[in-house]
Amino acid sequence: MSLGAGEDTLTVTQFNTQICPPVAEKRLHVHKQHGVNRTDHYHWLRDDQRQDPQVLAHLQAEKDYCDAVMAPIEPLKQQLFTELTSRLDKDESSVPYYWHQHWYQQRYCADNEYPLFERSRQYQGEYQLMLDLNERAKGHEFYDLGGLAVSPNEQLLAFAEDTLSRRIYRVYIKDLHSGELFEDQLDGIDGQIVWSQDNYHLFYIAKDPQTLLGNKVYCHRLGTPQSADRLVYQEQDDSFYLSLGKTLDESLITLCHESTVTSEVSVLAADAPTADFKPLIPRQTGVEYALAKHHQSYFILTNWQASNFQLLRADAANIADRAEWQVLIPGRDDVRIEDVLALQNHLVVQTREQGLTHIYVYDLDMKLLFELPFNDSAYVAGLDVNPRQDSDKLRVYYSSLTTPESVYEYDLSHGGKARLLKQQQVAGGFNPDDYCSERLFIDSRDACQIPVTLVYRRDAFQGDGNNSLYQYGYGAYGHTIEPWFDSAILSLLDRGVVYAIAHVRGGEMLGRHWYDSGRMFNKQNSFNDFIDVSRGLIKLGYCHPQKLLASGGSAGGLLMGSVMNQAPDLYCAVAAHVPFVDVVSTMLDETLPLTTNEYDEWGNPNERASFDYMLSYSPYDQVSEQPYPPILVTSGLHDSQVQYFEPAKWVAKLREYSSGDQPVLFDIDLSAGHGGKSGRYKHYEDVATEYAFMFTVLRIAG
């Protein structure tokens, strides 16, 4: 229960504040750019090799301090961990899908941290175990499965593993009949694997060992050393990411080149692995596109002459000639076309309208047959695993903040008749009727309406401004934070805490303009939106002004750092996970991952205008002498996305400048990376830590 009026005498465990935090030594280092000198006393905490004894000693001291401060609430953490994991279906399995001659699924068993990958000749028949990740993870503090690909003849399995958490993978190949591993091993790849149709060649993307960018595509022939692999393609523009795939009919291997605002698709015949990739539509700056192949034609989803994308069709023979493109669904300012699936006799189109997903089914003459019905006020829906083009069945996933993830199958030949295949099971007596979800629009300071999705427990919410509220945000890369069901959130709701997602600019909830309005020289809008949502929720009675929590990770950690600098008195506690906070220094360093790829997201600080703008909001540079709220910062020593030294330096500077007495905790995992702990259950250790931190600040009893 939460503390309200008259409950101040309730005994609630508090932090151990009797110990002093570690103090990082200040060593003078000056960054010089455009005539501006930036003093960085904590630059020495950067160690790319992660071997400097002084750096490691300081990080260990930070971890020890965090553990000591939170030691009195260890029972609460353990209680929460038990509570969070008790809701899981111990024997959860995915819905089997049919590919070639087998039904494939993944399944958890009892208390295992990792799933089993299985297949059967019959739907839910006797399954063959292909891969047990629990066995593969033995002896490793961290384990992550990257790509997993079965050969076209279904005799071989290629899978990629990362045991360091740097997102650098090693590929193994397994004979599915004998169970033996081949001697072939492929090191230093990004985790993606694609088979050619001859079952002898594998395509993969190699990572640069310094920048960790995947910029080279190789073809490996079974039985030969990796050193003999053929270099198929090398990306010359380091602002592009590469990804591999196959068309749905499996006739072409696809190589997608993507930067923030430009994309290109190259292909080679899947039965001609010694050929070279050729671009279908040559890249043009500012033009993005994706393709769905259907026999000898392509459906083209593109922002060419349509900022919210339009759907076109072209013959394969003249696809590069824009004059030959046929407009099927023109672009609209109020509708973002997001995805398209080309089946044998149907075309499925996914759009977003006023922040909500819509899925339409057409015949191949573009006659609208029906729209799939979704009923919640806010929800997430999309195309599930649909591995066969010659199918008249469509699988769709659906979820909301009150609806566990569900997989439906629609019979497209019979008017879209729906069948629920599976819904996520939530143990512990969960009843969706106990909870209420809402979609709001809150006015920003510049008269935009910001979407907010929230959920609360009905019997714990009166709307009188006395509830605590946990506000989450991200706001970058055009990534939309969807209102997925998450059983962990129930631990907030059942204690009277309202949960809210602020869909700030920088995401794409309201279309491409919503993204463009929150990147580059518009980035301040993301921070303003989050703050304005907070104030709006307080004004509307969803939250007590002294019980507002904020949380975000990665680019959402940047959001947390900026809103704390700009409105430190608004939040009673903040959690910043793997936060991107040293924006200017990182974006000036081309040896770091994600720098050159992201100039179109944040700006290029080698240019003075971008430098000045980024400096104006960079959380590390803008730390100032003011009282900051209690802060929990998390990171992983091996993080490949946001290097550990960004939050390490930030924490040191926050402690130096904060004029208040609130704790700044740095919970660094010395064996993890950007995604935190690996494993189904271990993940909830991190959640339990954050919730225990928040509940302690709020004086909420366990």
Bridge partners, residue 507, by sequence: 505
Q: Is 463 exposed, middle or buried (0-12, 13-18, 19+ CB in 10 A)?
A: exposed
Is 276 annotated as catalytic? no
Is 67 annotated as catalytic? no
- Planar angle of CA 139, 142, 146, nearest 5 degrees: 110
Q: What is the mean pLDDT of residues 459-482?
A: 96
Q: Which entry of 554, 562, 640, 678 is annotated as an active-site residue?
A: 554
pLDDT at residue 212, rounded to an integer: 82
Report CA torsion sign: 319, 325, 327, 328.
negative
pLDDT at residue 680, rounded to an integer: 87
Number of other CB atoms surrounding residue 45 within 10 Å: 23
pLDDT band at 10, cuts 50/70/90?
A: very low
**Tens digit of pLDDT for each residue in 229-281?**
999 999 999 889 999 999 999 999 999 999 999 999 999 999 999 999 999 99
Backbone phi and psi for residue 160, each to the nearest 5 degrees, phi listed first? -115, 135
Q: Which entry of 40, 639, 667, 669 is annotated as an active-site residue?
A: 639
Backbone phi and psi for residue 436, each to the nearest 5 degrees, phi listed first? -130, 130
Give the residue from 175, 147, 181, 182 showing the smallest Cα distance to 161: 147
pLDDT at residue 590, rounded to an integer: 87
CA pair distance 524, 566, nearest whole angstrom? 11
Q: What is the mean pLDDT of residues 535-561?
A: 97
pLDDT at residue 238, rounded to an integer: 87
Spatial contact of 163 and 136, defined as CB atoms under 8 Å apart: no
pLDDT band at 338, cuts 50/70/90?
A: very high
CA pair distance 79, 56, nearest whole angstrom? 31
Mean pLDDT value across the chain: 94
Q: Which of 50-54, 285-289, 581-585, 681-685 has the lowest mean pLDDT?
A: 681-685
CA pair distance 121, 112, nearest whole angstrom? 25
pLDDT band at 549, cuts 50/70/90?
A: very high
pLDDT band at 211, cuts 50/70/90?
A: confident
pLDDT at residue 675, rounded to an integer: 67
Cite the DSSP H helix spans in 404-554. Answer: 490-493, 512-516, 524-539
pLDDT at residue 12, rounded to an integer: 57
Query: 425 is written with which tokens?
Result: 């099971």
Q: Is pLDDT at 674 greater than 80 in this prediction?
A: no
Buried b (16+ CB within 10 A) or exposed e, 531-545: bbbbbbbbeeebbbe
Share above pLDDT 70 across residues of the chain, in percent, rounded to a whole number? 97
Q: What is the mean pLDDT of residues 72-89?
A: 95
Q: Is pLDDT at 55 greater than 70 in this prediction?
A: yes
Is 29 annotated as catalytic? no
Q: Is pLDDT at 3 greater than 90 in this prediction?
A: no
pLDDT at residue 416, rounded to an integer: 87
pLDDT at residue 519, rounded to an integer: 97
Q: Cα–chain-centroid distance for residue 30?
A: 34
pLDDT at residue 166, rounded to an integer: 82
Q: Which of 1-15, 55-69, 647-661 has the lowest mean pLDDT?
A: 1-15
pLDDT at residue 60, rounded to an integer: 97
Q: Is pLDDT at 176 greater than 50 in this prediction?
A: yes
Q: What is the mean pLDDT of residues 136-156?
A: 95
Q: Which entry of 165, 346, 674, 686 is annotated as an active-site residue?
A: 674
- The reported pTM is 0.94
Q: Is pLDDT at 215 greater than 70 in this prediction?
A: yes
User: Edge-to-edge strands of the sheet including 393-400?
Assistant: 380-383, 393-400, 403-411, 417-423
**Tens digit of pLDDT for each residue in 430-442?**
999 999 999 999 9
Q: Which of 91-105, 206-220, 682-696 has the lowest mean pLDDT?
A: 206-220
